Amino acid sequence: MQTRFANRFNCLIGPQIELYVFLLISRKFAIISSMSDPEYKPAPQSIPNQIGAEIPYDGCPLCAGKESQLVQEANCGQHPLWQPGLPTQLRWLCCNACSHVFRSAYFSPAAMKLLFSRAHACQVVGVEIDQQRAQWADTVHRVNRLMPEPVWNGRAAVWVDIGCGNGGLVFTSAEFGFQAIGIDMRQAAVEQITALGFNAIVGDIAEMMVTDPVDVISMADVLEHVPYPREALKRVFGSLKPEGVIVVSCPNYDCASWRATSKAGTNPYWGEIEHFHNFSRASLMRLLAQEGFMPVDYQVSRRYKSCMEITAVRTDSCE
């Protein structure tokens, strides 16, 4: 059953989104490779799918609608995380029923393991640590204001950061007084975070088990990486206390910078090999509301191109 808040946001999703079909001009990233020669450069030619890399979606991953249309094809063979065995072409579809934009397939466990054997330089723990601290301070401050009392007054409040990456949000939330725990699929990141005296474990949202509900769960640049976002949000809902807070950030495909780069043929997200979904502010707010979260804040994040950040509160009220 949808919460009453879901109905509030249904009107935010208008007619079919405008479709862009532009040639992707891949961006270059510096990367850290833990399993290959640092001088390695991905080959541009297509490599056979030797590991069963992709699992096709049977329908829309949000509404299960069976009809969709192709909106974009992009080459990802020059992406810094690409390796032989992964696909070189990405196909983006738009669901005819709910207008959700998603990849035609998601990665198998073997492909995910291969993908996560590398990391972007920005995902390395300790990189630009003061800049990360400053970038996350506003987010933590806004969440702290939603707590019954400020955490620095001694109130015990647990913050779980799913996909903690370089640890910036773990470090900053802990500085404010939260009992911060990071979860990430990259073993190296977890080891580096714990080496600094902070809490982190290896895992992902699909495996997260919370015996005692927590106060805050953040998914910074995570939901677009999850094959089935609705199921991930259901798990988060069950892991939060009543009126607990969720923070979600990801690119906004409806903002001006996304539209401008798509028109110029320079939008990097069509060729982003780690992403399975594209959200707008309205579509993400609607999804959150449908899964029992009331959005209470929207921010334009300066952490990367076209980034948005939504804060929402778990509500158990249903019609």
Q: Is residue 273 part of a domain?
A: yes
Across 234-258, average pLDDT: 96
Structure tokens at 17: 């989104």
**What pTM did the predictor assign?**
0.82
Straight-line distance from the first to the last Cα atom of the chain, in angstroms, rounded to the nearest whole number: 8
Residue 225 confidence (pLDDT) = 94
Tell me the residue range of the domain where 28 lies: 15-120
191: pLDDT strictly greater than 70: yes
Tokens of 253: 């495909």
Residue type, 59: G
Give the model confidence (pLDDT) of 67-126 as tens digits: 999 999 999 999 999 999 999 999 999 999 999 999 999 999 999 888 888 776 666 677
The answer on pLDDT for 3 being more than 80 is no
What was the pLDDT predicted at 29? 26
Query: Residues 39, 128: one domain?
Result: no
Q: Specify whether 54 is located in the same domain as 189.
A: no
pLDDT of residue 10: 45
Give residue 68's pLDDT: 97
Residues 51 and 111 in one domain: yes
Q: Is the pLDDT of residue 58 over 50?
A: yes
Assess whether 209 and 297 both reside in one domain: yes
- CA dist., res. 75 & res. 88, Å (int): 6
> Does residue 56 have a pLDDT over 70?
yes
Residues 130 and 172 in one domain: yes
Task: Give the residue carrying structure tokens 């950061």.
Answer: 161
Taking only the tens place, the pLDDT of each residue in 274-303 is 999 999 999 999 999 999 999 999 999 888
Q: What is the pLDDT of residues 132-143, one digit of tens each?
A: 999 999 999 999
Q: What is the CATH number of the domain that holds 235?
A: 3.40.50.150
Indicate if the pLDDT at residue 221 is higher than 80: yes
CA distance linking residue 309 with residue 170, whole number of Å: 17
Alpha-carbon gap, residue 19 to 236, rounded angstroms: 32
| Mean pLDDT computed over every residue of the chain | 83
Q: Are residues 158 and 278 in the same domain?
A: yes
What is the pLDDT, as a whole number, of residue 45?
A: 39
CA angle 287, 289, 295 (to 5 degrees): 110
Residue 42 has pLDDT above 50, yes or no: no
What is the pLDDT at residue 297?
97
Per-residue pLDDT tens for 6-21?
Answer: 444 443 333 332 222 2
**Residues whose CB is less than 8 angstroms from the CB of residue 29 and which lie 6 or more positions away in sequence, other chains included:** 79, 80, 120, 121
Tell whether 26 is covered by a domain.
yes
Per-residue pLDDT band for 155 (boundaries 50, 70, 90) equals confident
Same domain, residue pair 217 and 292: yes
When pLDDT is averaged across residues 153-167 and rounded to a whole number, the result is: 92
Q: Residue 179: what are its φ and ψ, rounded to 5°? A: -85, 95
pLDDT of the residue at 51: 52
Residue at a domain's end among 120, 150, 170: 120
Query: How many folded domains does the chain comprise?
Result: 2
Q: What percent of the chain has pLDDT over 90?
A: 67
* Residue 6, domain member (yes or no): no
Question: Are residues 144 and 211 located together in one domain of the fold?
Answer: yes
The pLDDT of residue 317: 64
